[in-house]
Amino acid sequence: MLAFAASRLLVLVAAIVASLEIGVSDRGIDAAVPRALSVLGAWDTTWYLEIARYGYAFDYGQVGIVYTNHAFFPGLPLLMAAALGLGLNPFVFALAVANASFLAALVGLHALTRAMWDERMADRAVWCLALFPPAIFASLAYTEGVTLALAVAAALAAYRSRLAVAGIAAAGAALMRPTGLLVLVLVALIVARDPRPGRPWRLALATLPTLAAVTLFLAWMRLERGSATLSFEAQAAWDRGALGVEMVGRLVNEAGALLVRLAEGHITLSWTADLRDILFTAVYLALVVLLWRMLGGFRSPWVVYSVAILAIPLSSGTFTSMARMGLLAFPLIWPLAEWIGRDPRRVRPMVAIAFMLLGVAQLAPGSP
C-alpha cells in the first residue's frame, strides 16, 4: 500500500502540473476528460471512449482517415460502456479501474515473488515495479493497468495450480490488448512444467477460456465487419509492419535515423518520446539478460514470456510505445530487485533516479 500510494501520488501531481502548466497534445482530448487530468486521458483513451459510445468503425476523423478504431481490443471499451450505462463519467471510471488494477498487480506480484523467493525479495520487487518509470502508464485510462493485473493474477493462479482462475484471468488479458494474448503462453508453460498426472486436462482448463474468448471476438468481427483479422490489419496504419520480417530492416533504419537526429541536435518534443522508447528498450533488453542468467534461460517460462512481450512489438519494425508495452513483462522486475538486494546502499539512488524519470521524462505532452 505504501509503494502504491507513494508512486501514484507522484504520478498524480506530475500529471496535474503537466496538464495545467505545460499543456497537452491537441489531438484526442475527449469532453469527458477534466482539464487537470488531460495528460492521463489523451491519445488512445479517446479511441476507447469512441468505441464505448458508438461501437467499432465509427470514426469522426480524430487523427485522419488512415486510422481506424478496429485496431483496439474490446476489454476497456466494454468497461467504459458499462460506466456510461450506469450514468458515470467513463474516463473517471476507467482511470479508477486502472489504478485499482495496478494496486492489485502489486499485491499479486508480492505474493508470487514471496512464494518463489522470500518476503524481502517480494518487498523489493513491489517497490521496483511501483517506481519503475513506465509504470506511469498503469495510471492512465489505458489498458496497461488492467492487463498487468490480469497477467500477474493468471501467473499467480497457475503457479498455485488454480487453473480455472488462471484461465479466466488470461482470457481477460487477451481481450484487453493484442499482447495480452501472450499471457496464455505464460500460463500454458507454467502448467506444462507441473509433472503431476493429468497434464492435458490441466492445460485445457487453463487455456480454453482464452481461446474461446478471442475466438468469439474474432468471429463477431468477421460477422459484423467482414474480416476476422481486421483488428490486426488495422495495426498497419499505426506505423507497424508485418510481425517478424521488419526487425532487420525497419528497426535498424529507425534506430539509425534517431541517432542522426541526435547528432544534428534536432531535439524536439516528438523526438523526446522516441528517445524514451529507445532508452527503455535498452533497459528491458539488459533486464532480459539478467533474468536469463537468474532463472536459467529458456527453461524458465518467465524468461520465455518476457522475451515474447518485447519481441512481438519490436519485430514489427518500430520502437514506438515500447516503454509502456514492455511493462507487461513483469518478471523483468525480479533481476532489478535482486540487484538492489545485493547492496542496500543502492536503494536510495535507485529511488531518486526513478522519481526524477517519472516526474520529468514520462509526462511530457504527446509522450503517451
Per residue, what are the HEC states of 180-230? HHHHHHHHHHHHHCCCCCCHHHHHHHHHHHHHHHHHHHHHHHHHHHCCCCH
Radius of gyration of the chain (CA): 20
- Name the DSSP class of 160: T
**Which long-range CB contacts under 8 A does 235-238 form with residues at least 24 apart?**
235/71, 235/178, 235/316, 237/66, 237/67, 237/68, 237/71, 238/67, 238/71, 238/320
Q: Which amino acid is at 267?
A: I
Residue 269 is predicted with a pLDDT of 44
Residue 43 is predicted with a pLDDT of 81
Q: Locate cell 478471442: which residue?
A: 214
pLDDT tens digits, the chain, 368 residues: what are they? 999 999 899 888 888 887 887 655 555 577 888 888 888 888 888 889 989 998 887 555 444 455 678 888 999 999 999 999 999 999 999 999 999 999 999 999 999 999 999 999 999 999 999 988 889 899 999 999 999 999 999 999 999 999 999 999 999 999 999 899 999 999 999 999 888 888 899 999 999 999 999 999 999 988 887 788 778 777 766 666 555 445 545 556 666 666 666 666 655 544 456 677 777 888 899 999 999 999 998 899 999 999 999 988 877 766 677 888 899 999 999 999 998 888 767 666 666 566 555 554 555 544 44
Residue 344 is predicted with a pLDDT of 67
**Counting Cβ atoms within 10 Å, is residue 206 exposed (0-12), middle (13-18) or buried (19+)?**
buried
The alpha-helical segments, DSSP class H, found in the chain are 2-17, 44-54, 75-85, 90-116, 119-131, 144-159, 163-176, 182-192, 199-225, 230-234, 250-263, 269-295, 301-314, 322-325, 333-342, 347-360
Determine the 3-state secondary structure of 85 from DSSP: helix
Residue 252 is predicted with a pLDDT of 61
Q: How far apart are CA 108 and CA 267, in angstroms?
A: 40
Q: How far apart are CA 157 and CA 164, in angstroms?
A: 8
Rounded (10°) angle between helices 199-225 and 182-192: 170
Taking Cα atoms as reference points, which of 123, 198, 117 lies closest to residue 161?
Answer: 198
- 175 neighbors 213 (Cβ within 8 angstroms): yes
Which residues, at least 6 apart from 19, have a Cβ–Cβ distance to it below 8 Å? 35, 36, 37, 38, 39, 40
CA torsion 227→232→233→235, rounded to 10°? 150
